Structure 1
């Protein structure tokens, strides 16, 4: 064979084979799934911008990773517009139905309904916001019509994709509860009620039909008409299999709730750290504020020159203090007066830092008092937070385009598989997002009609001297916050590259008795030193599944996804180096 032809073939293979890291010029995409990354890159290559590509990726992930993200859920977009150099955030978080009450999760015995029963019920389903978020983002920043952006996902749903080990394992883990709902069984299990085998082709023609409706009708195709009616009917009368032993409670979501839903454009949370500007989501996502608080605490220490074990100790204890404050004070800002001015002030961090000792705290610590650092130092009730119940599913998409626009987009249906309830005939799972509320009132995050439950999603952008440095985010419930925080420390303090920071072993301290950590963290060089400092560990296989993009001074970009977690992710650039 001619040497030039051989070289061309090898170059083509290097571009098309899935990889967790890619460096080059032009647009870039990083997601958990090769199909989604490739579809988004196709949008960029055909002239679409970062917002267009992010929506295409989200729609594709709704097909190939339906247990993590889909139109039955919601999300948060952080968008950098290069032309104006402004950041816009779009909140498409799910809302509680309008007849929700603070006691919705309290049983007749006066106790909280068991968590598993809350999840697998119509009570847990919030009004989905994902499609409204797409609509808002496209109206403000998009360059291509939704019908064009949905076509790759329609093709995937219609023609199918190859089942991998992660899809099989997630289906297997949910097999029993999926089998309790006739529509979910029909959509995601085979004729024998088993997961589809690794290597087989999985198709979802019902979801293809639904995407076609959205392509034709836009947001009205979801929030009005047949899909809205089907969603409301499914929540109010969950399609359980006759004879199921599960106690599946009915929900109250109506077509009026769907018709009234609005995505909200909010001012981002902005903080500084060692000369960098960190921009993230505001409430009701606690990710941006909690990361900002933790970084303010860490800014009092020189982590780059400290022994690594000491630096990691500071990271873990700063996380503990930040989570104590998060649990006590944060909720939907349209329902709760939040002391964010105080919590995010450098002066409060200096005071709060006094509680960060040279040894690990023995267990949970109390919240601080941010009110003296407010212009309005009123003192509302500050109840203790309930146990964290956020699901560890979700997905994160990071995209940039050749013009410098950037999107960090985290979307979710909450638990892996959401509520477990598929809308019959339409092929998508409904969220269980309302289990993010603290079940027992009073609390800033207690259930209320129309309220958005507190989230931990943390799509984040980093700037230096007004120029983008990186964008990143992760799934993982409340571990999202620590995954992003640890990745920031890895890059900004420890000097790691973004791919190295994403691959590094993780640990998450969320004001608990122990720190949850991966084996590589516990057994690494600093694990024993941290034990000597009083840290106690609970081992877990993996934490988070981050993606990000780093912007180099020479104009090139590096897109990075997980190399192994959740089966590994996929990163691509338009013009690979």
Structure 2
């Protein structure tokens, strides 16, 4: 099989530093007076809007869209994975977070993975095969939300996903490249190769369709019998048999004992806008708020968008946030996490004071939030004219997850065990029943009067945190529309390593950042590395909902 190579060409112009990768930027946003769904596939967004048009509420639309995404974008999410959801309906006093993150099987331990001398898992066992698989939570989480907050039946919301699985999903340019990039993983296990490759191991071409009959049958059974169809009985037996065949330790008890967690959102503010997001086992919401709290100490509007000064502040704030994430974040059912301190304005001020406006911080260590205590993934956003808001981020982790497909079911299983620290002694080490740390950040924003304003989220691993925060800042600080904010160039910096920037960053800003001492790595113009934001914003003054979708994925907003 001949590998497909993508050559990156760097072009320098008078205004911008560009890494060329042609991409369709147009027609991805939408506006309407009744409701908007923004998701990573146009067909999935259309599914959600059709549910709204037939009288379903925002939760019904979100659940239908989520099931459809698992079919239409099987490389990124599905019923073999898990995620987080935040819901705030118009008649609810408080938002609710539904945590359907995967859990570690009962037979695991802090020394679960076999490591080499550099503490790296041998034979990639944390990312490929049975040991990489956490107990899936998606079916339980989506159906819990439907039963408690939706109005339609399982059959009604799952039927569009079943129809797409039977009809066949279109192979887009994006899916084509992802299949080719993950060709070896798909070929490693025959069940996945039989589905996602043609006879003889040949990849599907752009414009062809991939039919998912086994997955359609599984979804039909879930629609008929509910979550028990997945967590007990024949499907559960097939899951356990395949996981153990591939070297894992999951049991029928692990599946039958899986529980959805209902949590209170983490809450913060940014320039008088309220930010509501997800708590641990996701680190995302907490650190989105921490990052925005740090940025609030600087006049970004005056400093300007895409300037060296603004980008420098983002870089330094990100380093500080990721130092805290590495030290403190874990599943709060297993570890004590200083959530109040991490989201404190006073703590953020201390961190902001560490930023030197003339040069990067050379060595970054975690701060002390305790003193402020007083006691590859997908995303969809839904909002309607009544102010009902739902944001869901869900994942099987890396593209095509663990590579394990359960025979006769079409279920592609996650590799979220890789999100644990592989060695003992960390707050995020492996423990039975524990949820691995995540960066997923489905987020709701309320306006200064406390009214529904925006739903937002993204895939992208740790870049989720920074991408969501940058997009919120683009709208609030720089007055961008939701689609302009999504299209704007993105940057990312972890606790160490280079400062990653998209190629459209101003050449003048680039040169000045180099002079300041930044080590810079240039990515493509619109690079999937930085995730794919899908958001809906309500402009109350004119009574119109605006949906934004990301060209870095196959995103599309649909409205009515």
TM-score higher than 0.5:
yes
Q: 1:441 to 1:201 in 2, by over 3 A?
A: same
- Aligned residue for 1:10? none
Q: Does 1:440 align with 2:423?
A: yes
Task: Give the whole-Å Cα distance in 2 for the aligned partners of 1:169 and 1:105.
Answer: 31
Is the 8 Å Cα contact of residues 363 and 514 (structure 1) preserved in structure 2?
no
Q: 1:569 aligns with which of 552, 555, 560?
A: 555
Name 1:513's counterpart in structure 2: 497
Cα distance in 2 for residues equivalent to 1:518 and 1:122: 36
Deviation at 1:470, TM superposition (A): 1.1
SS in 1 for 2:33: strand
Detail structure 1 runs of 4+ shifted over 6 Å in the superposition. none
* Aligned equivalent of 2:253: 256
CA 486–511 in structure 1, closer or farther in 2 if over 3 Å, else same: same
Aligned to 1:79: 87
Deviates more, 1:110-119 or 1:77-86: 110-119
Is the Cα contact below 8 Å between 2:125 and 2:132 reproduced in 1?
no
* C-alpha spacing 1:524/1:141, structure 2 compared with 1 (3 Å): farther
CA gap of 1:104–1:493, structure 2 versus 1, over 3 A, is: same
Q: 1:104 aligns with which of 105, 112, 131?
A: 112
Q: CA RMSD in A?
A: 1.6
Structure 1 residue 363: Cα displacement: 4.7
Q: Quick one: which of 262, 280, 284 aligns to 1:283? A: 280
**Matches of 1:434 and 1:277, distance apart in 2:** 33
Q: 1:323 to 1:171 in 2, by over 3 A?
A: same
Match of 1:265 in 2: 262
Equivalent residue for 2:22? Answer: none
Give how far 1:107 is off: 3.5
Residues 1:394 and 2:377 aligned together:
yes
CA distance in 1, matches of 2:382, 2:441: 15
Residue matched to 2:486: 502
Residue 478 of structure 1, aligned match among 450, 462, 470 = 462
2:355–2:361 CA contact under 8 A, matched in 1: no
* Cα distance between partner residues in 2 of 1:233 and 1:301: 55
Cα distance in 1 for residues equivalent to 2:504 and 2:293: 27
Q: Distance in 2 between matches of 1:198 and 1:109?
A: 43
> Which residue is 2:302 aligned to?
305
Counterpart of 1:520 in 2: which secondary structure? Answer: coil
Distance 2:116 2:38 in 1: 47
User: Do the aligned partners of 1:317 and 1:360 also contact (CA within 8 Å) in 2?
Assistant: no
Q: Distance in 2 between matches of 1:491 and 1:532?
A: 29
Deviation (angstroms), 1:194: 1.7
1:372 aligns with 371
Shift of 1:224: 0.8
Partner of 1:133: 141
Residue 548 of structure 2: aligned partner: 560
Instruction: Give the conservation status (yes or no) of the 8 Å contact 2:351–2:367.
Output: yes
Q: Is the 8 A contact 1:276 1:462 kept in 2?
A: yes
Structure 1 residues 476 and 497: alpha-carbon distance in aligned structure 2, compared to 1, 3 A threshold? same
SS of the equivalent of 1:229 reads helix
Q: 2:406 aligns with which of 413, 419, 423?
A: 423
Question: Are residues 1:160 and 2:168 paired?
Answer: yes
Structure 1 position 85, deviation (Å): 4.0
Aligned twin of 1:243: none
Q: CA deviation at 1:111?
A: 3.8
Is the 1:129–1:263 Cα contact (8 Å) retained in structure 2? yes
Deviation at 1:515, TM superposition (A): 1.1
Q: Deviations over 1:339-385 (max 9, x none)?
A: 22222222212222222211343555111112222246xxxxxxxxx
Aligned residues: 527
How far the C-alpha of 1:173 sits from its partner, in A, is 1.1
Equivalent residues of 1:73, 1:431 under 8 A apart:
yes
Q: 1:252 to 1:150 in 2, by over 3 A?
A: same
1:210 equivalent in structure 2: 218
1:233 aligns with 2:241: yes
Q: What does residue 412 of structure 1 align with?
A: 395
Partner of 2:538: 551
Unaligned runs of 5+ in 2: 1-25
1:526 match: secondary structure:
helix
Q: CA offset at residue 433 of structure 1?
A: 0.4
Question: 175, 183, 207: which one pairs with 1:175?
Answer: 183
Q: 1:139 to 1:511 in 2, by over 3 A?
A: same
Moved more, 187-196 or 530-539: 530-539
Structure 2 residue 38 is matched with structure 1 residue 39: no
Q: Retained in 2: the 8 A contact 1:362–1:513?
A: no
Distance 2:423 2:217 in 1: 40
Superposition TM-score, scaled by structure 2 size: 0.91
Partners of 1:115 and 1:360 lie apart in 2 by: 41
Q: 1:363 to 1:72 in 2, by over 3 A?
A: farther
1:539 to 522, 528, 531: 522
CA distance in 1, matches of 2:209, 2:351: 54
List gaps (5 residues or longer) in structure 1. 1-17, 239-249, 377-392
**Alpha-carbon distance in 2 for matches of 1:508, 1:418:** 24
Change (3 A) 1:206 1:534: same
Q: Secondary structure at the match of 1:103?
A: coil
Structure 1 equivalent of residue 156 of structure 2: 148
Deviations 1:111-133 (A, max 9, x none): 43247332112111000000111
CA distance in 2 between partners of 1:360 and 1:462 (Å): 33
Aligned-pair CA distance for 1:110: 8.8
Which residue pairs with 2:4 in the alignment? none
